[in-house]
Structure 1
Amino acid sequence: MKAIPYILVLCAAVLWGTVGTTQTYLTEGIHPIPIAMMRSLIGGGILLIIAILLKKISFRTWSWKQTFFAALSMALFQPLFFTSVHLTGVAVGTVVTIGSSPIFAGLIEWLFLKTRPTRTWAFATCFAIIGCVLLFTSKGETTIVPSGILCALCAGVAFATYTNVSKVLLEKEAALPSVAMTFTMCGVILLPFSLFLGVEWIGIPSNWLPLFVMGVAGTSIAYLLFLRGLHAISSSAAVTLSLGEPLTAALLGVFLVGENLSLTAWVGVAFLLGGILVVTLKGKQSIES
């Protein structure tokens, strides 16, 4: 079925959406970068062991250049995103980062991969971005800090770059070892910064299960599904479908954490869902050469 790759990417976005809720079970006051480091090392490390045991990796002939840029993109995404949230608030930082990612992905894909996204993708992306704006700005946080906006835009570029570089990597390597190598390397890149920010919380037993869940479900499985789907669809469509992450996070907040969404936020949920459905149902027309 041609819709399967789109469904795989959407499933990855749903798993990403659980990370925020899972993170609430960690000890309070932990900096996001060490969490990202542990999540990457656990998720990438487990898959790396599996890939080595299955003899899926040849270190001598591996595509190191593409892997490094994919890992660097993900390593940059975390601090850029959380810095934007710190400077300009959760609502604006999230909307600008997540909303700009599909646009940057389409531009990078067009400029470097010579693949022009369709009108259907543009329509669905606009729909989904409007949904993001309605969902997050309904919370009343509208602080505009130029440096925070810049960090959010750079975070959007980082995720879009990761997606497009991974698309190239998948032309040379299989999805499982690609995720394994990329996120293990990402964790190694973040390690020095994490040691500076503090990692003593890792020794607390109550933090182990949330870390394992974020590493396995939110990283290993999620990015494996993402790359499996990305192999068959355009980068721009994949990043638009990743907007299922804030949708999932919002719904989990309502049904598990007990948060309340305003009418405006529910309209945003509807717009987000509509954009995702358009991309998925029109998947076979997602790219015009």
Structure 2
Amino acid sequence: MSSAVWALVASCVLWGTTGTAASFFPDAVNPLAIGASTMTIGGALLFAVNHRAALRVLRDRAMRGWLLAAAAGMVAYPLAFYASMDLAGVAIGNVVSLGSGPLFAAILEWRVQRRRLTARWMLSAGIAIAGMALLVSGGHGDGSPVDPAGIPAGVALGLLAGAGYALFTFASGIVIRGGHSGRGVMGAAFGLAAIPLAGVLLVLGGPLLASAGSIGIALYLAIGPMFLAYLFFAVGVRDLPSSTVTVITLLEPLVATLLAVLVVGERLEPLGWLGLVLILVGVTVLSSARRPRSAV
């Protein structure tokens, strides 16, 4: 396989470990603190590595509004993503967050750029929504560590995470088309997002910093799935066609689900498995017709 394929596979595998790694935090650690620490450290690193290009983006007044929108998406995403996995479980939280992103991206294009919602979008949205309904009604089985009562709220937070990531990709894509490099936009948006999230970490991060083990997990999440994975992803999407990117990125929810079952001990009912499959099918139907985004 080419280096671009390996880079994309590496990023997806790293992303797929986030929920399982977070499950090893003590119960006293707030999921909002986990999301805040990941972006605060990872975002600062991404800004530092790309600081020259990122500063050029920050100085562009014409693109500032869209840059702030991209940063706002990256503030919402990690908070909602980790809270979703805390309530609905690693498998459900991960797949809903990832699966809803392309659907929200199409809605943004429809509302802002007046792009028509196609029959393909309608079909994919219907399939994915049916999958989410199955997850809520028949997600986890007996023996699973996840409380079924928290699944609806977890799915709602997963949708919020998907909307946040869609806002980031949509707005950052506009800034890139305005003449800036993908790495510069990524560094600027993630660096800006790290500022308010550092405040969240200061307020809620006490239990996270209480032990060396928790600090180690937080550093892994920031350096692995956040910093290194996005660098790998930028290499992969630069040289691969959209069809290849679409197929490879499905590794992320697959890895997350397998780790949730094998390591965390989550147990999904047959309806839950069917729901996960339907969401992935819906995303594949939609994404197979979409160009890869070079924003990340």
TM-score, structure 2 normalization: 0.69
Q: Provide the residue aligned with 2:71 in structure 1.
A: 71
Residue 81 of structure 1 deviates from its aligned partner by 5.8
Q: 3-state SS of the aligned residue for 2:28? A: coil
SS in 1 for 2:208: helix
User: How many Å separate the matches in 1 of 2:157 and 2:65?
Assistant: 25
Identical amino acids, percent of aligned pairs? 26
Q: Report what 1:286 is aligned to.
A: 290
Q: What's the offset of the Cα at 1:143?
A: 6.7
The yes-or-no answer on 1:49 pairing with 2:48 is: yes
1:130 aligned onto 2:130: yes
**Deviation for aligned residue 1:214:** 1.2
Per the TM alignment, residue 194 of structure 1 is displaced from its structure 2 partner at its CA by 2.3
Query: Is residue 2:107 matched to residue 1:107?
Result: yes
Q: Residues 286, 179 of structure 1: CA spacing in aligned structure 2 closer, same or farther, 3 A cutoff?
A: closer
1:206 aligned partner, one-letter code: G
Matched with 1:160 is: 166
CA drift of 1:61 comes to 3.3
For 1:82 and 1:50, locate their aligned partners in 2 and report how far apart those are by CA, in whole Å: 25
Q: Report the CA distance between 1:258 and its aligned residue.
A: 3.6
Q: Which residue of 1 aligns with 2:15?
A: 16
Any gaps of 5 or more consecutive residues in structure 1? none
1:112 is displaced (CA, Å) by 1.1
Which runs of structure 2 are paired with 1:174-253 in the superposition (5 Å)? 174-199=181-206, 201-202=208-209, 204-224=211-231, 245-253=252-260
Cα RMSD after superposing both structures: 4.3
CA pair 113-243 structure 1, distance change in 2 beyond 3 A: farther
SS in 1 for 2:35: helix
Number of equivalent positions: 273
Q: Distance between the aligned counterparts of 2:118 and 2:204, measured in 1? A: 44
In 2, the alpha carbon distance for the partners of 1:247 and 1:268 equals: 13
The alpha-carbon deviation at position 13 of structure 1 amounts to 5.4
**Residues 228-247 of structure 1: per-residue CA shift (max 9 Å, x gap):** 777899xxxx9999776544
**Given that residues 19 and 85 in structure 2 are in contact (C-alpha distance below 8 angstroms), is that contact kept between their aligned partners in structure 1?**
no
- The aligned amino acid for 2:166 is A
Q: CA–CA distance in 2 between the matches of 1:100 and 1:164?
A: 14
Distance in 1, matches of 2:38 and 2:268, equals 29
Aligned ranges 1:2-13 → 2 under 5 Å: none
8 Å contact kept, 1:240–1:276:
no
Partner of 1:115, secondary structure, is: coil
Q: Deviation at 1:44?
A: 1.9
Name stretches of at least 5 consecutive residues in structure 2 with no aligned partner: 142-147, 292-296
- What is the CA–CA distance in structure 2 between the aligned matches of 1:221 and 1:20, rounded to whole Å? 17
Distance 1:133 1:229 in 2: 33
Q: 1:188 to 1:152 in 2, by over 3 A?
A: same
After superposing the two structures, state which structure 1 stretch, 148-157 or 16-25, moved more.
148-157
**TM-score normalised to structure 1 length:** 0.71
Q: Evaluate the alpha carbon distance shift between residue 78 and residue 273 of structure 1 in structure 2; reply closer, same or farther with a 3 A threshold.
A: closer
What is the CA distance between 1:56 and its match in structure 2?
3.3
Flag the 1:230–1:106 CA change in 2: closer, same or farther, 3 A. Answer: farther
What SS does structure 2 have at the residue aligned with 1:116?
coil
* Aligned-residue offset at 1:70: 1.2
Q: Which amino acid aligns with 1:134?
A: L
Q: What SS class does the counterpart of residue 59 from structure 2 fall into? A: coil
- What is aligned with 2:140? 139
Q: How does 1:250-289 map to 2 (within 5 A)?
A: 250-279=257-286, 283=288, 285-286=289-290
Counterpart-to-counterpart distance in 2, 1:279 and 1:148: 24
The change in CA–CA distance for 1:111 and 1:218 in structure 2 (over 3 A counts) is same
Query: Do the aligned partners of 1:241 and 1:276 also contact (CA within 8 Å) in 2?
Result: no
Deviates more, 1:188-197 or 1:9-18: 9-18
